[in-house]
Amino acid sequence: MASAKVFSGICGFHTHIIAKEDEDKIRLHIESDCSAIMRLAEQLTEVDPFQEITFRKAGPLTLQLGAKYCLHTACPVPVGIIKAVEVEANLALPMDASIQVSRSDN
CATH number of the structural domain 2-88: 3.90.1010.10
Mode of pairing for the β-strands spanning 46-47 and 25-32: antiparallel
Supply the mean pLDDT for the chain.
Answer: 95
List all residues 6 or more positions away from 39 whose beta carbon is below 8 Å from its beta carbon: 69
**Half-sphere exposure of residue 46, counting CA atoms within 13 Å on the CB side?**
9
Distances (CA, A) of 51 to 14, 17, 45, 100, 101: 26, 18, 14, 28, 30
pLDDT tens-digit map of 52-74: 998 888 889 999 999 999 999 99
Where are the chain's structural domains?
Answer: 2-88
pLDDT tens-digit map of 83-101: 999 999 999 999 999 999 9
Q: Is 85 helix (H, G, I), strand (E, B) or coil?
A: helix
Q: Give the pLDDT mean for 39-64.
A: 94
